[in-house]
Amino acid sequence: MYEKFIHIINQNNGIITAKEAEQKGISRVYLKKMTDEGVIQRLEHGIYATDMFIYDEYYIFQLKHPNSIFSYNTALYLQNMTERTPFKMDVTTKRSTNLSSYRDKINLYRVNEDIINLGKCKIKTNYGNTVNSYNLERTVCDIINNKSTIDIEIANKAIKNCIKSKEFDANKMFEYAKKMKIYDKVKNYMEA
């Protein structure tokens, strides 16, 4: 069992959730035993890692809240559109999600279910772990729609960087703007 467990956790970059372990036939009792023996450490409730795991706050947050999506400054940071590391993580969720216990660590944005997945993509963190983020087009729409939530100088620079990017698709951005009911706002900003 020990070798099976080590093989599974090593294939997962040195980290595993209790739920993932159970799905692979490893009980929570065994996780506790491995923790007591010092083979793994408990990072947070239900999340365990070996010394091989490099601490990645974005990935750990995503493991705990798989339906959350990194947005605004955090999305810009993950997509290398800003050099500034966000002080707090910007996270978008459905209106019904409660993350009030993270008030000191995140800026929370809540949206309707019909647009939550608009522009959602998978992106790698600096440590190579995959998390949910918004793509450039959705991020630009969000920033234009909520300019008061982000420093105007950073916003303007980030939007210029996004638009210059080879990956940026202006048509897709306007399509998102229509679905988000902010088409005129985005169009006016782009024309200015």
For 33-52, how does the pLDDT look when each residue is reduced to its tens digit (9 = 90+)? 999 999 899 998 899 999 88
125-131 contact pairs (CB < 8 A, 24+): 125/56, 125/58, 125/59, 125/78, 126/56, 127/54, 127/56, 127/59, 128/13, 129/13, 129/56, 129/58, 129/59, 130/59, 131/58, 131/59, 131/62, 131/70, 131/78
Helix (H) or strand (E) holding 132: strand 130-134
Residues 109-130: tens digit of each pLDDT: 999 999 999 999 999 999 999 9
| Predicted TM-score (pTM) above 0.85 | yes
- pLDDT of 70 reads 97
Average pLDDT over residues 78-84: 87
Whether 151 has a pLDDT exceeding 80, the answer reads: no
Mean pLDDT of the chain: 90
The DSSP letter of residue 123 is E
Tell me if 132 sits within 8 A of 62, measured CB to CB.
yes
Q: What is the pLDDT of residue 86?
A: 85
CB 133 within 8 A of CB 73: no
pLDDT at 41: 93
**Residue 85 confidence (pLDDT):** 83
Provide, rounded to the nearest whole percent, the portion of the chain with pLDDT above 70: 99
136 neighbors 168 (Cβ within 8 angstroms): yes
Say which residues have a Cβ less than 8 Å from residue 73's Cβ, sequence separation at least 6: 82, 84, 86, 90, 150, 154
Report, in angstroms and rounded to the nearest whole number, the Rg of the chain calculated over CA atoms. 19
Residue 97 confidence (pLDDT) above 90: no
39: which 2 tokens? Answer: 């083979």
pLDDT of residue 172: 96
58-78: pLDDT as tens digits: 999 999 999 999 999 999 999
Q: What is the per-residue pLDDT for 104? A: 86
Q: Is 91 helix (H, G, I), strand (E, B) or coil?
A: strand
